[in-house]
A and B are shown apart, each in its own frame.
Chain A
Amino acid sequence: DSGVTQTPKHLITATGQRVTLRCSPRSGDLSVYWYQQSLDQGLQFLIQYYNGEERAKGNILERFSAQQFPDLHSELNLSSLELGDSALYFCASSVVGTGATEAFFGQGTRLTVV
């Protein structure tokens, strides 16, 4: 158990809809990352938050947004969903500033858009 909790584990929704994925980081971790992994693909970095503020942005679509709340949990909002958005979405957390950035991943949310 990595200590990172993601909900829900599975999500099936229709095209055009909006969903929210939730992530609770490990206790004490201030940094949260979101990644997308399509079938048999590598991990694509979406966005990183550190202590409530956006720290880095990757290939995140304008239809997607995220935020990190004062209690450090994070949500990834996906809107106007398309079939191609079907993927595994992972959240990871880490302690920043220790000299080595080690990320600990949740179990992921499998999103299926039909």
Chain B
Amino acid sequence: TQLLEQSPQFLSIQEGENLTVYCNSSSVFSSLQWYRQEPGEGPVLLVTVVTGGEVKKLKRLTFQFGDARKDSSLHITAAQPGDTGLYLCAGALTGKAAGNKLTFGGGTRVLVKP
């Protein structure tokens, strides 16, 4: 069982549709990041959320951190083919013993068809 569970694992939608990706855990995170990875490339950081209930917007992407800092969501409005990729959430556990190690979810593969 992964510490961070992402759902769905795969999402195929038409251009112009909206989509939401979820990242859930039973653990509390001091911060949570979302990354996008394209084939053969390294993940690229999209956003970091640190405060429970925080909402951040990046153009058509809206990120929300749960009030209890255990979960997060990524919503894309009017998706475009350029949004295609593997979306990964990652969290840093609270506490000194956690060592600031980033834990990644399994990823959600998004395909936006023109």
Show the binding face of A for B, using Cβ within 8 Å: 2, 4, 31, 33, 35, 40-43, 45, 48, 50, 55-56, 58, 88, 90, 92, 94, 96-97, 99-108, 110
CA separation between A50 and B30, bound complex, in Å? 19
> For window 54-103 of chain B, which residues contact chain A by CB distance below 8 Å?
88, 90, 92, 99-103
Give chain B's interface residue range (CB within 8 Å of chain A).
20 to 34
A108-B42 in contact (CB<8A): yes
Given contacts A45-B103, A94-B100, contact A101 B92 (CB under 8 A): yes
B101-A48 in contact (CB<8A): yes
Which residue of A is nearest B103, CB measured? A45
* 29 residue pairs A–B, Cβ–Cβ below 8 Å: A2-B42, A33-B101, A40-B109, A41-B107, A42-B2, A42-B104, A43-B43, A45-B101, A48-B99, A55-B100, A56-B101, A90-B43, A92-B42, A94-B100, A94-B102, A100-B31, A101-B30, A101-B33, A101-B100, A101-B101, A101-B102, A102-B31, A102-B33, A102-B48, A103-B102, A104-B45, A105-B44, A107-B42, A108-B40
Given contacts A99-B50, A100-B48, contact A43 B104 (CB under 8 A): yes
CA separation between A100 and B2, bound complex, in Å? 21
CA separation between A84 and B31, bound complex, in Å? 33
CA separation between A56 and B102, bound complex, in Å? 10
A31-B42 in contact (CB<8A): no
Which residue of B is nearest A58, CB measured? B101
CA separation between A92 and B103, bound complex, in Å? 13
Q: With a CB–CB cut-off of 8 A, which chain B residues contact A104?
A: 45
CA separation between A96 and B100, bound complex, in Å? 7
Given contacts A42-B104, A48-B101, A55-B99, contact A99 B30 (CB under 8 A): yes
Given contacts A55-B99, A100-B92, contact A106 B42 (CB under 8 A): yes
The distance from the CB of B24 to the nearest CB of chain A, in whole angstroms, is 15
A100-B50 in contact (CB<8A): yes
B88-A103 in contact (CB<8A): no
Q: With a CB–CB cut-off of 8 A, which chain A residues contact B44?
A: 2, 105
